[in-house]
Amino acid sequence: MKNFVVKTIANAAAMAVAIWLLKGITLSGENTARKVLTLVAVAFLFGVVNFVVKPVVKLLSFPLFILTLGLITLVINALMLLLTSWFAGQLDLAFHVGGFWTALIGGLIISIVAWAMHVILPDEQD
């Protein structure tokens, strides 16, 4: 359970950085508290998408993974971010990703920041 909370916090921080850096990724709300709650909800949703959908997509794209020497992972991360944006829209969460190229850059930013947050935050395996 602690590991799940740490991953959600790391995803929320990474998404906040991507929202701050890219104009094509938006998060809106009436006030700061509402934005923070939306950000945490979207981070949770992003974690669920990465846990459920991403392994299936990686398995199906394994030949492309070998062919591109792993660069297809950037595209898969972008697709997971776009899928999260779509699910957020279905759940009336005020989070939107503007397009594929924005999602590609956003996925790269989220990956780097989430990795850094996982290094900083404590883990269950301490």
Residues 49-54 have a mean pLDDT of 88
pLDDT score for 1: 61
**Closest to 81 measured CA to CA, from 49, 59, 113:** 49
pLDDT tens figures, 81-120:
999 999 999 999 999 999 999 999 999 999 899 888 878 8
Given a cut of 60, is residue 42 above it in pLDDT?
Answer: yes
Residues 51-55 have a mean pLDDT of 88
Q: How far apart are CA 121 and CA 30, in angstroms?
A: 30
Q: Where does the pLDDT of residue 79 fall: very low under 50, low under 70, confident under 90, or very high at 90 and above?
A: very high
Q: How far apart are CA 93 and CA 87, in angstroms?
A: 9
Tell me which H or E stretch contains 121.
none
